[in-house]
Amino acid sequence: MSAIQSTMLLSPSAKSMCSSNINPMLVSNPLVSSSIDEKSQKDITEILNKCIENTRNLTEFSKVLQIDNINAPTISGHMDFYYPNLSFQFSHYQQELPEISKIKHVPIPCELLEQFSRIQINCAMGLFTCISRAWLTIDNLIFFWNYEDGSDICFYDNMFEPIVAVDLFVPKERTFDEGVEYGLCLATNSQVALLSVDFIRYTKGNGAIVNEMRFSPQPVYSIPTDNLIINCLKSAKGTGRIFMGAKDGSLYEFFYQNQTGWFSSQTKKINLSHSKFHYLVPSFLSFNEADSIIQVEIDETRNILYTRSENSTIQVFYLGPNGTDTSKIGSLSCNSIAAKAANLIHSNDKHLFMPIVHISAIKQCESKNINLVAVTQFGIRLYFSVSPFEQFEHIVSPDQAPPSTFQLVHVRIPPIELSSHNRNGPVGSAYINDGISLMMTRRDEQNDTVLVLNRDLFLLHNNYKESKCIFNIDGRIWNCEEIEPTLNSVRTASLENENLQTIKSATGIENIPKLSSEYFDMPRRFAMITPQGCFIWNKMRPIDQLTICLRESNGPNSDSVRLFFNKIYEKSEACALCLAVALNYSGDARLFEWATQAYFMYSGEPEIRKKSSYTFGSSHNPITQSQSNQPYNPQNSLIDTGLEQNENSIYDVTMINRVQPKTALNSVSILNSPQQMSTPIVMRTKDNFQGQNRAYRSQQNTNQPAQSIGNVQQQKNECEIHFSGKHNAIYIYLSRLLCPIWDLKLLNELPGSQVQDSDTFSMTDSIIFATFADIHIQWFLNKLNELRSFIELNYPQLKTVQHSHVTGSLFGFIDHVQQTTSGTRVTSAPKFATQFQSLALNQQALNNLTSSGVPLTEKKIAEEIELGSIYLIKQFLNRIIEIFGLWKILDDHKFHFISTKLDRQTQLMLMNMQIKNFLVCDDNLLDQLITALLYRYIDDNACTDLLNQSLKQMCPSLYTNENAIFSKACEKLKQALNIKNDSYERDRLLKEAVDLVKQIGYVANLSQVCEMLYTAGCYEAIFELCITAAEKRDPQNIALYFYRKNEPAEDIQGQHYYQLRVECYKSMLDCLNNLIKTPSYSLAQQKNTYISSKEKLDEEINYLIRYVINSKDELAQVSLFTWMISNGFEKKLVTLDSEFLEFYLIRQFENQLKNRIYLDLLWRHYDFKKDYIKASKVLITLAEKESGTPISLRERVEYLTQAIVALNSSQKSSVKDEIAELNDRKDVALLQEKIFDELAKIEPRSELIQEAMDQLDSKLYDITKLFYDFAEKFELFQFKLAIFKMSRHEDPRFIEICWKQIVANEIDKLSRPDLKSSDLKHELAENLITIAKDYVDDEKYFPLNSLIDSLEFASLARGFEPEWCCTLLRRLNLPFEQLIQAYNEVYLGKDVKWAENSSRFINTIYCLIELFTKAPRATSETDKVFFLRSVKDLIPKYLTELNTINDDLSKELITGFKSLNCMLDRM
C-alpha cells in the first residue's frame, strides 16, 4: 500500500497523510509536455461541441429547397447552377468527376437460366439486400441465390399458382418460432402465404463460410384473396405488419397472430381504404372506377404509409404513434398534382408531370418537413409534405405531430442529360434514398441507362445542388436496391477481418451522422437485377473521388483536385477531406504524400483583415459585410466573405423562383445558433453563408438595437484573424471522428446493481457494478494516433511555437505582463487563440509587434497565431489519447471489479458521465481511476510490473517515475520539520530531500519545496536547489544565448528555456523577499528562529547575495540584480564585483525604454571601480541622449559637470581635448538653461511657450537649434547676442539691432504704472549693466556708439538726468577717452532725432566731462593725457554749436563749458 501512496496517484485517504502545505504532485514536464491548460481545454471542447452539433444537424432539407412554409411551393433544377459541371481537363480530354466505382457483374447462375424457357404465365425478379439474396419467380416457383457470387441457390415450390408478389419481412414478436429473423410473403391470385426463413451457418472443407437459406415446408400463415388481385406487398420492419396493394384500388393488411380468440382468428385480410361501414353502402352507388395500387411505401420514422396507383394517384395513411393503427389522411390525384406543378413553372402543359412512375418516403433524419418524393416519367421529382412546417419545429418523437394534410411543396427539374436520353424512352423506374436518386430509362429495346443524381458533394451547401452521372446497364432493370448490411453483420465482419472495421462497427451505433460515415464508414453499395445478372457498384464518397483524382493525376497539381477546393467545398472542408484521405491511406506512401501536399497547397494562409464596421439594421448590404459586430459568427474563419463569381464558380447567389416571393427569407431561422458561442461551424459553404447570414441578421434585427456610431468607430481600429483551411480541417476531422460517441454514456450498469441518490446513500448500500460502453476503443485510439502523427510530421515547428511571444502579446498580454529580470515582458505561457470564429485583434497591439525588435509582418503574426491554435489541438489530442489509453487498460482489466475500489461519490459520478465529459475530465478523477487499478492488483498480491509498463506507455503524463521521487522528497522534508532537538538528523534529512529534488529539478514543484526549506531555515539550500534546477532545465545554456542576443522574438526555443530559468530563480528571490519583510521585533519574539537579530538578518542577506555572485550563473545574477534594484539595494549593487553587472545595466537601459536609472547605476559602478573614462562616457550619455525617463535640463548640466570632474580625476593628459570640448558643451547647456529661465519669466505663459520650455527641458540642443528654434522664434535678442558671441559670428548690423532691442525690451519690462521714475532708471541701469558685462570687453559684440544713441534717446524720452547714461557706461569701466570719442562720433552723426535736441545731447557730453573732473584719479595718467587733449579740441567746437542754438540750456552750457575749460587747463 505504501508503494502506491508514494506515487502521484494517491487515494483521498492516502493524500490526507501528507502535510497540508505539501502537494506531492509534479508540475507537467516543461520540456516535453502533453498536458493542456484548463481554459484551452474548455475552449477546444466548446469548439468540438459545436462542430459535432453541426456534423449531426445538417441544414434542414426544406431550407435547402428554399421553402419557407407549406403554402409557398418552390422549384429548382431549372438552371445549370443546380447541376454543377464537375468536369476537368485530364490529358487531352474533358473528364467528369467519377461518381460510381467499377461495376461488378455477377451473372445469373446457369441453373436458373434454364428456367426462363419454362415461363408460361408470369416472371419477376428482385433483391433482398438485407439477406444478400436475389430472387426470381417463374410461375409458381421462386428461386433465391447470393447475388454477390451466385452461390447458395435454393427454391420454394409449394405454391400451386403463379406468384404475383413477393416481400421479405421481419415477423411480429412471438408469431414465428424463436430464432426466426425473417419471413417470406408470397401472393398468388388465390392466397397470400407467409413462410419462415432462417439461415444455417457452416464452414466448408475449403474454409469458406456459408449461410444456407432455408424455408418452412408449408406456410405458417395464409389467407385467401377472395378473387382479389394483389399487385404489391410491403412490410413494416418495426411492427411486422404486412400491407397489400390490390387491383381494386384498395390498401389491405394481412393481419396475423399466434393465437386465436373467441372473436378473432389467427389471420385476416383488412381493407384499410374503406371505413368499417362501407359494406352497408350498395355497390351500385359507387361510381368510381378501380384505380389499381401498384406501389406501397412506408416511412417508419414517422409511421406514415403512401400508395401510388396506376393512374398516379397518391394516398397518405397514418399508422398511429406506435405504428399499429391506420387512418387515411388524404390523397392527391395525378391531375391535381400536375396542375399545381405546371402552374408553379408557369406552363400549360400538365403532361410534363404525368404519369408518376415511383414514390419514395423521406425519413425524418433526412428532413423534418419534407415527407415524400415522387418521380414522373420525364424525371421530374415532386416533393410533398403532410404537415405544416411549424408543427415540426419542436418534434421530438413521431407521436407528437400526426400528419394533417398532403401538399406539393417543391418541383425539381431534371438535368438536361436526362432529357437527351428520354428520346429513347421515359423513366421507367427509380430509386431514391438519403440524398441519392437513381432513374432508369430505356437505352434500347434490350438495355437500360441509369442516371445517378447525388447530393453528397453538396451537403454543406444551402442550395439544392446535385452531381450527376450516367452509365449503361446490360438488360432491362427489374429492381434496384441499396445494400445496407445490418449492424450485427457489420460487427461480425469486422471481427473476422480488421480491415472491415468501420466507425459503425467500432461504436455499435446504427445511424452514424452522414458526415462522419463519409469519412469512416464503407461506401454505399447498390445492386441492380436484370435478366443478364446482378450489377453491383459503389457510390463513391467524396473521399473516394478525391483519392481517384490524386491517383489518376499522380499528385495534387491537377484540375480534378482543384475542383474540390474551387467549386465543391470551401477550403476548410476540402482540407479535411485531404486529411481523411491521407490518414485512411497512410499505408500507401505515394497517396499519403499527395493528399498531404494538397492539404497544404490549396488550404490558403491565415490572414489578418480589417474588421468590418457593419451594424445591424444599417443600410449596408449584409452579404458583403463580415459580421464583426455579432456575438457569434460561424462563417468568418471558414469561408471567404467575398462572393465574387466567375465563369467556373458554382457559388451562385441566385434565388429560386417562388410562388409567394414576399415570404422570401423573412421567416427563416437559423437552427442551432446560440447568441454566444466560442466555436462555430454552422455550415462551411459560401451558399450557406449567404442564406443563413441573411436569416441570422434578420433574427438579430428584431432582438438587438442598432449599434452606436461610437462602437462602429472603435471597430475601425480593430482587425481579425482568419484561420486557414488546414487549421480548421483538423477540428472538422476530429469532430467527425468523435461525433458518434460524444454524447454516449460512459458506463453501462450491469444487471443487479443499484444506483442510489448521492445525497441519501450510506456505507451499507449495495456497490455499483458497471462496465464501459460497448465501444471498440482500440479503433478510436488508432485513428487518434494517426491524426497526431500527421500533425507531428507536418508541423515540426509546433515544438517551439508554444513559447511564442506573438500570441502571448495579442491574447491576454495584460494579464501576463510582469516585471522580470529583463524588464517588463510576458513571463507566463502565452494564451493561444482557440476559436474557429474571427478573433478580434487590437490594431495597436499588431503595430507594436510589427515594429518591435525584428519587424514582424502581419502574415508572420497570423501564422504564429494559427500555429498556436494547432499546437493546442495537438495538446488536446495528446490528452484524449492518453485518456483513451487509460480507458482501454481499465476495460481490459474488467472495470466492473475495479470500480469497487472507488468511493461512492466517484462511482455515482461515473455512472452519470458522458464520454465527452470523461475525455476532458480533470486529473483528479484519472488519478483515482489509476489508484483503484493499482489497489486491485495489490489486493490480489499480483505483480504490477506489466501494469506499470502499460500505464507508462499509454498515459505517460498521468503516470511517471518522477512522482515517486518527488513524493519521497516531500516526505523527508516533513520529517525534518518535525525534528526539534536532533540537528544532525534534521540536517541529514534536509540534505537528502534537496538531493532528491535535484534529480528531478527539471519537473519538480520548486515553490513547494522552497517553502518547506524556508520554514526550516535552510536559505542556502534554497539557492543551491534553484540554481541546480535551472541548470538541469537548461543544460545547454540556451537561455543564456537567448539573453545575450537581446531576446530575439523569433527564437521561440530560447524564450522557452529562458522562462524555465526565470521560474527557478523566482523561488530564490521569494526567499529574499520574505527575509527583508521580516520585522525586527518579530525576530526576537520567534522561537526556534534561525536569525535572531536584524544584524544577523542583514548578514544572511549579504551572504546569499555573495552566494549568487560566486555561482557564475549569469542569469541567476541577472535575476538578483533586478531584485536589488526593485528593493532599494542600489548602493549595494554598484559595489558588487560581478563580471556580468556591466552588461546587465547596459542591456537593461536599451530594453527598458532607456530608463536612466540603469545608466545612473552604471556610472556609479564605474566610479566605484575607478574607471573614470567609462564613467565620464556614461555621464555624457545621460546628459545628451534621450531617455525613457525624464531628465531635467539642470540635471543634464550637472551630469556634464560630473563628467568633467571624472575626466579630471583620471589624471591623463590624453583627455585634455575632451575636457575642453566638454566645457564648451557645458557653456551651451548653461545658455540653454538661461533661455529656459527667461521663457519661464514670461507671463501669461502660452501653450507655445510651454511647449518650448518642455523641449528645452527634455534634451540638450546645439547652438544653431537654440538660435533658430528658441531665441529667434521668441525674439530673445539678449540670447541671440550671446549665441553670436559664443559662435564668434560677426554681423555688426545685426548686433546693433540686438542691442537696440535689448534696451527696448528692458524698458518695456519696467514700464509699469506702479514703478516710480527713480526706481525705473535705477532698475534699468542695473539690468543693462548685468547684460553688458559679458560683452564690454569685446567691441565686436558691444557697439558703443549704437548703444549710446539708444540709451540717450531712451533717457531723453523718459526724462532721465543727462548724466544717467554716461554714469551707467562708466560703471562698466569704460575709459573716458573711449566714451568721449564715442559720444562725439554719435553727435557728429547728426541723427535726425537729435536735430531738435542738440543741446540736450551736448549737455550729456558736458556731464561726462564734468564726471571726469570729479574723479580724475579713476583714470590712468596716460588715459588722462589723451582725454584732456581730446576734450581741449572738442570744447571749442561744442561752444560754436551752442552759439547757433538759441535756448536757455545752450546759454547755461556755454558758461559751463568755459568753466570746465578753465578747470581742465589747471589739470
Residues 7, 938: contact at Cβ < 8 Å?
Answer: no
Cis peptide leading into residue 388 (ω within 30°) = no
The pLDDT tens digits of the residues spanning 1098-1150 come to 888 999 999 999 988 999 999 999 999 988 898 888 888 888 988 888 888 87
Comparing C-alpha atoms, which of 1214, 1204, 1196, 1156 is closest to residue 1177? 1204
DSSP 811-876: SSHHHHEEEETTEEEE-SPPPPP--SSPEEEEHHHHHHHHHSSS---HHHHHHHHHHHHHHHHHHH
Q: What is the Cα–Cα distance from 1162 to 1145, expressed in whole angstroms?
A: 6
How many whole angstroms separate alpha carbon 966 and alpha carbon 727?
39
Q: Which three cell numbers stand for residue 855?
A: 519587424
Report the C-alpha gap between 494 and 412 in whole angstroms: 40
9 near 934, Cβ under 8 Å?
yes
Nearest to 1295 by CA among 1347, 1351, 1330, 1331: 1347
Confidence of residue 840 (pLDDT cuts 50, 70, 90): low
Pairing of strands 372-376, 356-361: antiparallel
Mean pLDDT for all residues in the chain: 77
For residue 1252, pLDDT beyond 90: no
171 backbone φψ class: left, alpha, beta (φ>0; ψ -120 to 50) = beta
- Residue 311 pLDDT class (50, 70, 90 cuts): very high
Q: Is the pLDDT of residue 123 over 80?
A: yes
Nine cell digits for residue 359: 414514390
Residue 397 clears pLDDT 80, i.e. is over it: no
Share of the chain above pLDDT 90, in %: 20
Q: For residues 219 and 768, what is the distance between their CA atoms, to the nearest angstrom?
A: 49
Which range has the worst mean pLDDT, 416-420, 470-474, 586-590, 1008-1012?
Answer: 416-420
Return the number of other C-beta atoms located less than 10 Å from residue 490's C-beta: 21
Residues 1109, 1141: Cα–Cα separation, whole Å: 10
Burial class (CB in 10 A: 0-12, 13-18, 19+), 288: exposed
Asked if the model's pLDDT at residue 254 lies above 90, the reply is: yes
Q: Is 1301 left (phi over 0), alpha (psi -120 to 50) or beta?
A: alpha
Q: What are the beta bridge partners of residue 1401?
A: none
**In 10 A of CB 1410, how many CB atoms?**
17
- Per-residue pLDDT, 1119: 92
pLDDT band at 527 (very low <50, low <70, confident <90, very high): very high
Cell of 1170: 575607478
| Band of pLDDT at residue 185, cut at 50, 70 and 90 | very high
Specify the pLDDT at position 846.
Answer: 66
Please indicate whether residue 1243 or residue 880 has the higher confidence score (pLDDT).
880
Report the C-alpha gap between 1145 and 1166 in whole angstroms: 11
**230, 187 contact by CB (below 8 A):** yes
| Averaged pLDDT, 1142-1171 | 84
Average pLDDT of span 298-310: 93
Give yes or no for residue 1302 having a pLDDT over 70: yes
pLDDT given at position 460: 86
Structure confidence at residue 1142 (pLDDT): 87
Predicted local distance difference test score (pLDDT) of residue 757: 42
Instruction: Give the DSSP per-residue string, 760-804.
Output: T--TTSPPP-EEE-S--HHHHHHHHHHHHHHHHHH-TTHHHHTT-
Residue with cell 511564442: 804
Greater model confidence, 1332 or 613:
1332
Q: Which residue has the cell 464583426?
A: 628
Per-residue pLDDT at 425: 66
pLDDT, position 1091 = 57
| Lowest-pLDDT choice from 243-257, 551-565, 708-722, 1261-1275 | 708-722
pLDDT band for position 770 (cuts 50, 70, 90): low
Predicted confidence at residue 835, as pLDDT, reads: 52
Q: Compute the average pLDDT of residues 1153-1166.
A: 83
Q: Are 298 and 372 in contact (CB under 8 A)?
A: no
For 299-343, the DSSP string reads ETTTTEEEEEETT--EEEEE--TTS---EEEEEE-HHHHHHHHHH
- Which residues, at least 6 apart from 649, have a Cβ–Cβ distance to it below 8 Å? 566, 567
Indicate left, alpha or beta for 475 from its phi (over 0: left) and psi (-120 to 50: alpha). Answer: left
pLDDT, mean of residues 614-635 = 32
* pLDDT of 1282: 78
pLDDT band, very low/low/confident/very high, at 1438 (cuts 50, 70, 90): confident
When mean pLDDT is compared across 304-313, 638-647, 956-965, the lowest value belongs to 638-647
For residues 612-639, give the mean pLDDT: 33
DSSP 1315: S
Instruction: Look at 15-29, 713-727, 986-1000 and tell me which has the smallest mean pLDDT.
Output: 15-29
* pLDDT tens-digit map of 1066-1110: 989 999 998 888 765 454 444 444 555 778 888 889 999 999 999
Write down the pLDDT at residue 849: 64
Mean pLDDT of 154-163: 89
Q: How confident is the model at residue 384 (pLDDT cuts 50, 70, 90)?
A: very high
pLDDT of residue 766: 45
How many helices (H) and strands (E) the chain has is answered by 54, 39
Q: Is the pLDDT of residue 1242 over 70?
A: yes
Of the ranges 656-665, 812-821, 1173-1182, the best mean pLDDT one: 1173-1182
Render 1368-1398 in DSSP notation, one character per residue: HHHTTT--HHHHHHHHHHHHHTT-GGGSS-H
The C-alpha atoms of residue 1405 and residue 1416 are separated, in whole angstroms, by 16
Share of the chain above pLDDT 70, in %: 77
Which amino acid belongs to residue 820? T
pLDDT band of 707, cuts 50, 70, 90: very low
Query: Residue 644: is its pLDDT beyond 80?
Result: no
Report for 820-824, 993-997, 1113-1117, 1198-1202: range of highest mean pLDDT: 1113-1117
Considering only CA atoms, which of 638, 666, 818, 816 is closest in space to residue 722? 638
Residue 821: per-residue pLDDT: 31
Any idea which of 150-159, 619-628, 789-798 has the lowest mean pLDDT? 619-628
Residue range 272-280: average pLDDT? 62
Are 423 and 22 in contact by the 8 Å Cβ rule? The answer is no
Q: Which of 1241, 1197, 1234 is nearest to 1331 (CA)?
A: 1234
Average pLDDT over residues 980-996: 82
Between the alpha carbon of residue 1239 and those of residues 218, 1233, 1255, 1257, 1273, the distances in Å are: 124, 10, 12, 12, 12
Q: What distance in Å separates the CA atoms of residue 152 and residue 214, rounded to the nearest whole number? A: 10
Beta-bridged to residue 193, according to DSSP, are 186, 222
Closest CA to 829 of 811, 841, 842: 811
What is the distance between the alpha carbons of residues 378 and 384, in angstroms, rounded to a whole number?
18
pLDDT at 264: 59
CB 1433 within 8 A of CB 1457: no
Q: Looking at residues 935-950, what average pLDDT do you find? A: 67
Question: Which pLDDT does position 1084 carry in this prediction?
Answer: 43
Say yes or no to pLDDT of 685 above 90. Answer: no
Of 64-78, 1032-1046, 1348-1362, the range with the lowest mean pLDDT is 1348-1362
Answer whether residue 318 shows pLDDT above 70. yes
3-state DSSP call for residue 429?
strand
Are the C-beta atoms of residues 749 and 910 closer than 8 Å to each other?
no
pLDDT tens digits along 1364-1375: 888 888 788 787
Q: What is the DSSP letter of 723?
A: -
C-alpha cell at 552: 489518376
What pLDDT does 1 receive? 32
What spatial distance separates the first Cα and last Cα of the chain, rounded to whole Å? 129
- 1261 close to 1232: Cβ distance less than 8 angstroms: yes
- Mean pLDDT (whole number) for 216-233: 91
Task: Give the position of cell 500505464.
Answer: 951
Cα-based torsion angle of the residue sequence 215, 219, 225, 228 in order, rounded to the nearest 10 degrees: 10
Whether the pLDDT of residue 947 is over 70: the answer is yes
Q: Is the confidence at residue 715, as pLDDT, over 60? A: no
Q: What is the pLDDT of residues 1203-1228, one digit of tens each?
A: 888 888 887 777 788 888 888 888 88
H helices within 1333-1375, ranges in order?
Answer: 1344-1358, 1363-1370
Residue 783 confidence (pLDDT): 92
pLDDT in tens, 1334-1348: 777 777 888 887 788
* Backbone phi, psi, residue 383, to 5°: -105, 140
Dist CA 1306 CA 1327 (whole Å)? 7
d(CA 894, CA 190): 59
